[in-house]
């Protein structure tokens, strides 16, 4: 073999250095994009065509139903009767107040609006990384807002008292979901740290808590809270139903969160702990500054998964007689004033859309954060 | 103007260290003292009868075959590993179960690892200022000035705002050294700082270590870089099977090894 190599192959000294050149121009244009992304190979092309066929089959009827044949105006069922009627959006429009506030007294609904507004005012700047005053913002969201929301929603201080039985719709969904998220995130982190603690008592308690709540279905938790709890409480002492649901949901998702976070903690190399310890950092600064930022970043998909699961699980509060968004939509199907063949489909579509907007928003935001936290670290 | 301040701050620190080294030497207090230290991993007797005195300002190189317990020995000095028998006294403080005292020792003892162990989610500068700010409670501005000074000393000030993942191995290890120095430690421990590096990067790290050795830092280095040992070490310690087999000044150690195992090891490592 070696003999066959020419002189040039065996002996080479570069005489001219190659200067750095810009990368070859990126080809642009629609045609090129289609070729690269949709028809790069035969199987790929077949999949593209099948997908297009599926869309052609499914999208037009959906548009027909949701927009073209849909009924937008009307005050009762008459509007939505007929052979070729699509979605009955008039129903959603008429019941919109209930879907958002439940049976919250109409004259007091501004209080709920104010709470939503305060929440948005706190959340939006918090979510934009470049917005200033993050510490103050967090203080507002985690301390001032909850207190203000509690007073505004339940009443007192001159405001009319509105018992939680009257709350409903999106209000209940958001109250349960947000409380669940705000409690389960820090509690989950503490439980995950506890489960890895060197102190046997802490570890044992954490494991017991996690396994207890993870081991029972949420429905059971909610049922027990409303059926069993009264047996243990003295007569006359009652525990607010919504509060029970809140605690149940928060603890339940904390257990899940703990396991997600623990997965992240386990992925952090031992060297990180050692480097931090060798500097003289104590346990909490080490966790706060070094370990958790990396561990949490790793498990963002899992965390958001848990949040989304929690958000959708709020619907289960229906079984203890609380009406979340889905519950109140379903409840309104029984209104004979709006009994039409399209009522249920439209109501479910509306509820699904609202849930989807929130969950998709969380998902997109988490992807944005993940990209932002990318630091070029290769494992 | 800020570099000026940083430079003077570093100069002050170095003067303080030199002063401390003199004071300790005058009192004849060793920087590190290990007396009859033993350690086991389960049934495995990994450190046996270790007796070691490191004077302030002394530079020790530890070598020996793989698995001989070198890492374990130096990790016992800042309690990353716990010894089970004997006494270890660092900077006048005895290592015990008292966590406060352990953190006190760790503040004064810098450590450089084989795999750098930089914090990947923080920039180079943040890596360097973290401990001074959080452990020494130094104002952030001052910590940054000192960090820039040390990054200049290890010749990578221009990388300060990059993340570790964007640096070469040699650069990362130099950052790791600068990061330890930012705590102005009295003692520096090195655990095979160059053995994860490509040959051409080894020199840039060794240069920094030589520079540090010449500034009077107390150093314990586990390394197989015999050139470095010859150049800066006051003493070379050879370990095998968890015990110190032989120790001597470098010239004697390399020219005239006494123990059979030392001879064998040196013949293997020096070809
Ligand atoms: N956590 C541990 N549990 C059990 N055995 C261990 C543990 N860490 C190290 N050992 C064992 O202890 C012995 C000494 O390990 P050590 O890491 O100190 O060796 P070393 O001299 O640093 O070797 P190297 O040059 O390969 O780094 C080895 O035999 C190793 O297998
Ligand atoms: Mg080792």
ipTM, 2 decimals?
0.89
Q: What are phi and psi of A9, to 5 degrees?
A: -65, -40
Burial of A255 (0-12, 13-18, 19+ CB in 10 A): buried
pLDDT at B53 over 70: yes
Please check whether residue B64 lies inside any domain of the structure. Answer: yes
pLDDT at position A1: 46
Provide the β-strand partners of residue B218.
B187
CB atoms within 10 A of CB A232: 7
Indicate whether A87 pLDDT > 50.
yes
* Mean pLDDT score across all residues of chain B: 88
Hey, is the C-beta of A294 within 8 angstroms of any chain B C-beta?
Answer: yes
Q: Judge: B163–A376 Cβ closer than 8 Å, yes or no.
A: yes
The pLDDT assigned to A78 comes to 86
Query: What is d(CA A169, CA A328) in angstroms, rounded to the nearest whole number?
Result: 6
* CA–CA gap between residue A27 and residue A33 (Å, rounded): 9
Residue A377's pLDDT band (boundaries 50, 70, 90)?
A: low
- B227 Cβ closer than 6 Å to some ligand 1 atom: no
- B222 lies in a domain? yes
User: Pick the residue with more confidence: B104 or B29?
Assistant: B104
Helix (H, G, I), strand (E, B) or coil at A99: helix
Domains annotated for chain A, with CATH where assigned, are: 87-104+162-373 (1.10.3720.10)
* Of B19 and B215, more confident: B215
**B69 Cβ below 6 A of ligand 1:** yes
Residue B19 lies in a domain: no
The sign of the CA dihedral B230, B234, B239, B245 is positive
Q: Which residues of A196-214 are buried (b: 16+ CB within 10 A; e: fewer)?
A: eeeeeebeeebeebbeebe
CATH code for position B57: 3.40.50.300
What is the residue range of B197's domain? 29-268
- B243 inside domain: yes
Band (A364; pLDDT cuts 50, 70, 90) = very high
* Long-range contacts, A269-272 (Cβ 8 Å, 24+): A269/B117, A271/B113, A271/B115, A271/B117, A272/B117, A272/B119
* Dist. CA A191–CA A254, nearest whole Å: 8
A157: left (phi over 0), alpha (psi -120 to 50) or beta: left
Mean pLDDT of A7-17: 73
Residue B182, in any domain of the structure: yes
How far is the C-alpha of B89 from the C-alpha of A180, rounded, in Å? Answer: 50
User: What is the percentage of chain A residues whose pLDDT exceeds 70?
Assistant: 95
**Length of chain A, in residues:** 379
Q: Which two tokens stand for residue B252?
A: 């004697």
Cβ of B119 under 8 Å from any chain A Cβ? yes
Token pair, residue B55, equals: 């004077």
Report the range of poorest mean pLDDT among A3-7, B47-51, B167-171: A3-7
Q: Closest Cα to residue A375, out of A297, A299, A296, A302?
A: A297
Of A274, A276, A377, the CB nearest to B120: A377
The stretch A167-181 carries a mean pLDDT of: 93
CB–CB of A135/A105 below 8 Å? no
The pLDDT value recorded for residue A27 is: 65
Residue B247 belongs to a domain? yes
How many angstroms separate the Cα of B155 from the Cα of each of A302, B10, B115, B127, B149? 41, 16, 20, 16, 10
Residue of B nearest to A374 (CA): B121
pLDDT in tens, A179-213: 999 999 999 999 999 999 999 999 999 999 999 99
Cα(B92) to ligand 2 centroid in Å equals 26
Residues of B in Cβ contact (< 8 Å) with A271: 113, 115, 117
A274 at B interface, C-beta within 8 A:
yes
The three-state secondary structure class of B38 is: strand
Residue with tokens 């005195």: B53
User: Quick check: B1 pLDDT over 50?
Assistant: no
Q: What is the pLDDT of residue A366?
A: 92
pLDDT exceeds cutoff 60 at B2: no
Total count of domains within chain B: 1
Task: Give the lowest-confidence range in A19-23, A46-50, B208-212.
Answer: A19-23
Query: How many Å apart are CA A27 and CA A351, to the nearest integer?
Result: 44
Rounded Cα–Cα distance for residues B228 and B204 (Å): 12
Residues 6 or more apart in contact with residue B94 via CB below 8 angstroms: B87, B88, B101
Whether B65 is covered by a domain: the verdict is yes
Given a cut of 80, whether residue A264 has pLDDT beyond it is yes
Residue B252 burial (C-beta neighbours within 10 Å; 0-12, 13-18, 19+): middle
pLDDT in tens, B112-147: 999 999 999 999 999 999 999 999 999 999 999 999
| Encoded tokens for A100 | 């958002």
Q: Closest Cα to residue A351, out of A302, A306, A307, A318?
A: A318
Closest-lying ligand 1 atom to the alpha carbon of residue B114: 27
Residues B159/B160/B161/B164 CA torsion (nearest 10 deg): 70
Strands (DSSP E) along B123-197, which ranges? 187-191
Across the range B186-205, mean pLDDT stands at: 90
Over the stretch B203-239, which tens digit does the pLDDT of each residue have?
Answer: 888 888 898 888 888 999 999 988 899 989 999 999 9
What is d(CA B50, CA B142) in angstroms, rounded to the nearest whole number? 41
| Residue B121 within any structural domain of the chain | yes
What percent of chain B stands above pLDDT 90?
49
The verdict on the CB of residue B66 being under 6 Å from ligand 1 is yes
Q: What is the mean pLDDT of chain A?
A: 89
Half-sphere exposure of A351 (CA within 13 A, CB side): 27
Task: State how far the Cα of A321 lies from the Cα of B187, in Å rounded to an integer.
Answer: 67
Q: Where does the pLDDT of residue A173 fall: very low under 50, low under 70, confident under 90, or very high at 90 and above?
A: very high
Res B27: pLDDT: 67
φ, ψ of residue A167 to 5 degrees: the values are -75, 155
Quick check: helix, strand or coil at residue A376? coil
CA angle A133, A366, A309 (to 5 degrees): 120
For position A379, what pLDDT does the model report?
46
- Ligand 1 pocket check for B39: Cβ under 6 Å: no
Q: How far is CA A223 from each of CA A273, A330, B107, rounded to the nearest angstrom?
A: 43, 20, 54
User: Residue B19: what pLDDT?
Assistant: 75
Could you give the CA distance from residue A246 to residue A255 in angstroms, rounded to a whole number?
14
Ligand located closest to B62 CA: 1
Q: What are the pLDDT digits (tens) for A313-354?
A: 899 999 888 899 999 999 998 888 888 888 899 999 999 999
What pLDDT is stored for residue B6 in this prediction? 54
- What is the crossing angle of helices B140-153 and B124-134, to 10°? 130
């Amino acid at each position: 073999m070696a003999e066959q190599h020419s002189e040039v192959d065996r002996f080479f000294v570069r005489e001219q250095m190659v200067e750095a050149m810009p990368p070859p121009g990126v080809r642009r244009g629609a045609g090129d994009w289609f070729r690269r992304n949709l028809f790069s190979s035969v199987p790929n092309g077949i999949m593209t065509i099948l997908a297009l066929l599926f869309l052609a089959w499914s999208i037009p009827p959906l548009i027909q139903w949701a927009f073209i044949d849909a009924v937008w105006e009307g005050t009762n069922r008459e509007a939505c009767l007929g052979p070729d009627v699509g979605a009955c959006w008039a129903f959603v429009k008429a019941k919109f107040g209930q879907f958002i506030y439940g049976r919250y007294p109409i004259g007091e609904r501004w209080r709920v609006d104010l709470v939503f507004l305060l929440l948005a005012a706190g959340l939006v700047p918090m979510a934009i990384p470049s917005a200033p005053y993050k510490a103050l913002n967090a203080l507002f969201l985690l301390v001032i807002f909850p207190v203000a929301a509690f007073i505004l929603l339940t009443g007192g201080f001159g405001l009319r008292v509105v018992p939680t039985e009257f709350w409903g719709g999106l209000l209940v969904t958001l109250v349960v979901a947000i409380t669940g998220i705000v409690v389960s995130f820090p509690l989950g982190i503490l439980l995950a740290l506890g489960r890895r603690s060197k102190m046997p008592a802490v570890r044992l308690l954490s494991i017991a808590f996690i396994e207890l709540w993870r081991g029972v279905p949420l429905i059971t938790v909610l049922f027990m809270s409303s059926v069993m709890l009264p047996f243990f409480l003295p007569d006359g002492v009652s525990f607010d139903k919504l509060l029970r649901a809140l605690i149940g949901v928060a603890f339940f998702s904390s257990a899940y969160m703990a396991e997600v976070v623990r997965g992240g903690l386990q992925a952090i190399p031992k060297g990180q702990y050692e480097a931090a310890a060798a500097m003289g950092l104590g346990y909490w600064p080490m966790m706060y500054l070094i370990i958790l930022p990396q561990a949490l970043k790793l498990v963002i998909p899992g965390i958001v998964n848990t949040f989304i699961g929690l958000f959708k699980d709020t619907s289960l509060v229906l079984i203890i007689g609380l009406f979340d968004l889905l519950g109140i939509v379903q409840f309104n199907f029984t209104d004979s004033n709006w009994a039409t063949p399209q009522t249920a489909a439209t109501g479910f579509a509306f509820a699904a859309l609202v849930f989807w907007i929130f969950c998709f928003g969380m998902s997109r935001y988490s992807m944005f954060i993940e990209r932002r936290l990318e630091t070029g670290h290769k494992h | 103007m800020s570099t000026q301040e940083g430079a003077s701050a570093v100069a002050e620190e170095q003067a303080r260290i030199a002063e401390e080294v003199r004071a300790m030497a005058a009192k004849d207090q060793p920087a590190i003292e290990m007396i009859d230290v033993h350690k086991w991993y389960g049934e495995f007797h990994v450190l046996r009868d270790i007796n070691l005195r490191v004077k302030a300002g002394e530079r020790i190189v530890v070598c020996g075959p793989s698995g001989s317990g070198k890492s374990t020995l130096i990790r016992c000095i800042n309690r990353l590993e716990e010894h089970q028998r004997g006494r270890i006294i660092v900077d006048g403080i005895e290592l015990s179960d008292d966590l406060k005292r352990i953190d006190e020792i760790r503040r004064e003892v810098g450590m450089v690892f084989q795999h750098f162990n930089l914090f990947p989610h923080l920039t180079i500068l943040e890596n360097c200022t973290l401990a001074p700010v959080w452990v020494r409670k130094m104002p952030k501005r001052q910590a940054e000035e000192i960090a820039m000074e040390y990054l200049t000393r290890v010749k990578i000030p221009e990388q300060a705002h990059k993340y570790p993942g964007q640096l070469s191995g040699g650069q990362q290890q130099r950052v790791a050294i600068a990061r330890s120095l930012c705590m102005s430690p009295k003692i520096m421990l090195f655990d095979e700082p160059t053995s994860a590096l490509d040959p051409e990067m080894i020199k840039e790290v060794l240069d920094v270590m030589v520079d540090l050795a010449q500034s009077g830092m107390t150093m314990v280095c586990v390394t197989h870089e015999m050139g470095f040992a010859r150049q800066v070490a006051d003493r070379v310690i050879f370990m095998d099977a968890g015990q110190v087999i032989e120790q001597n000044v470098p010239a004697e150690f390399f020219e005239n090894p006494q123990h059979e195992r030392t001879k064998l090891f040196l013949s293997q490592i020096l070809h």
